[in-house]
Amino acid sequence: MNANAFLACLQAQQACVAALRDLLAQEQDAMAGRRFTELQAIGLRKEALLEQLGGLERERETTQRAAGFSPGRAGADAVAIFFGQATHQAWCELLAAAALARSENLQAGSAVWAHLDFTQRALNFLQASAQLFYGPDGARRSTATGMGTRLAAG
């Protein structure tokens, strides 16, 4: 294995992380714009990119092993230094971009969960309140008798 093969692996990972970060920005924009219907498609694309990134990581580790280095972060650190400045710089840039993507993904996930929690609490309140006052026919129920006054005649 040569430096070019390892550098190509790093560049492929960098491109995938850049695509993921672009997608995370789209997700953030959709949430800020209250376009929640877009989130499912974005989530599916994120999942596909993360699977692709996992495959690229396995490919990089295979390349590391072929060069006689251990898999994982320590092996990647060592092989990046071994192959010179350009490779080491590409590795450091990949690590920085991946750290940003992770942070952005955690932030987006927190926002989604906060919105879901708020929505679930609102639904729970409305469902509990609706059971006390209105029946399935739209009639207001009296808490004492279970009978109510029709709000709309049909």
For residue 109, pLDDT over 50 is answered with yes
Q: Are 70 and 64 in contact (CB under 8 A)?
A: yes
Please give the Cα distance from 125 to 143 (Å, whole number). 18
* Neighbouring C-beta atoms of residue 90, cutoff 10 Å: 20
Task: Tell me the average pLDDT across 48-57.
Answer: 95
Q: Which two structure tokens, joined as six digits, stand for 141?
A: 């129920």
Of all residues in the chain, the percent with pLDDT exceeding 90 is 56
The residue extents of the domains of the chain are 3-133
Task: Tell me the average pLDDT across 99-128.
Answer: 86
What single letter denotes the amino acid at residue 60?
R
Quick: pLDDT tens for 59-73. Answer: 999 989 988 999 889
- Widest pairwise Cα distance in the chain: 84
The whole model's pTM is what? 0.74
| C-alpha closest to that of 137 among 126, 128, 147 | 147
- Please determine, looking at this structure, whether the domain spanning 3-133 carries the CATH number 1.10.10.60: no
